[in-house]
Amino acid sequence: MDSRITAAMAVRGFIFDLDGVITDTAEFHYRGWKRLADEMGFPFDRAANEQLRGVSRRESLLRLLGERASQFTEDKLQDMMTRKNAYYLQSIQEISPRDMLPGARELLQELRAAHFKIALGSASKNARHVLRSLEIEKLFDAVADGYSVERHKPAPDLFLFAAKALQLAPGECVVVEDAAAGIEAAKAGGFYAVGLGPPERVGGADAVFPNLENVHVANVLNALKQ
């Protein structure tokens, strides 16, 4: 049998990114950074924000500042991160189960019913708070978040942490991601990668869908066999 077919049949777990996959908090992260950048007089727009997708809070700030970063003390960098996070938390105050992206809840429930193991693999330190607001904590067997590892995406550490928590090997897990850094991390760790979004961004994945709307377990497993 073709090795990819055997491999796709070996899938026993799924690791989901949060922001931009399960809920559209990616937009609120953008607005938080935009407000900080405007207040500080730094140029920042949606195109620049694409470079921050999926990366940690600290790395996002460093990318936003670019060469300016060296002008700031550690205290000042911390202060800017705290401010951005306060703006972000303010904007997600009202988040509720209605804010799941189309298809996300359905796929999680389908996976659960089919006895796949499910983990969260998000760089965000606010991930547990968001899961609680969406009322989907119970759908996850394990949570890997911004507190779980030192090295963030594109390093594979977060997904390896999640797989270990699920007691599965990377080759038994599918990572679902909307960020180039996340796809890179998944592939570096030996996971199957499903990318959500335009191929220019997630084309490095093993299978690509525009989003999770109408994406069922069978669609994912079939796409991985191609």
Q: Which residues bind ligand BG6 (CB under 6 A)?
A: 18-19, 26, 29, 52-57, 60, 85, 122-126, 146
Bridge-partner residues for 177, per DSSP?
195
Three-state SS at 221:
helix
Judged by beta carbon distances under 5 to 8 A according to partner kind, the member of Mg ion, ligand BG6, none in contact with residue 57 is: ligand BG6
133 is in the binding site of which of Mg ion, ligand BG6, none (Cβ under 5 to 8 A by kind)?
Answer: none
Q: Which one from 2, 19, 79, 141 is the annotated catalytic residue?
A: 19
**Could you give the 3-state DSSP secondary structure of residue 14?**
strand
Known catalytic residue at 17: yes
User: Any catalytic annotation for residue 141?
Assistant: no
User: At 46, is the secondary structure helix, strand, or coil?
Assistant: helix
Residue 121 β-bridge partners = 144
Applying CB under 5 A, does 178 fall inside the site for Mg ion?
Answer: yes
Q: Which is nearer to Mg ion, 17 or 172 (CB)?
A: 17
Active-site option among 2, 17, 45, 75: 17
Give the number of residues in contact with Mg ion, rule: CB under 5 A: 6
Supply the DSSP symbol for 72.
S
* Alpha helices per DSSP H over 66-198: 74-91, 104-113, 127-134, 157-166, 180-189
- Of 10-18, 63-71, 74-82, 215-223, which part binds Mg ion (CB under 5 A)? 10-18
> Is 176 or 224 the residue whose CB approaches ligand BG6 more closely?
176
Q: At what angle do helices 217-225 and 104-113 cross, to 10 degrees?
A: 90
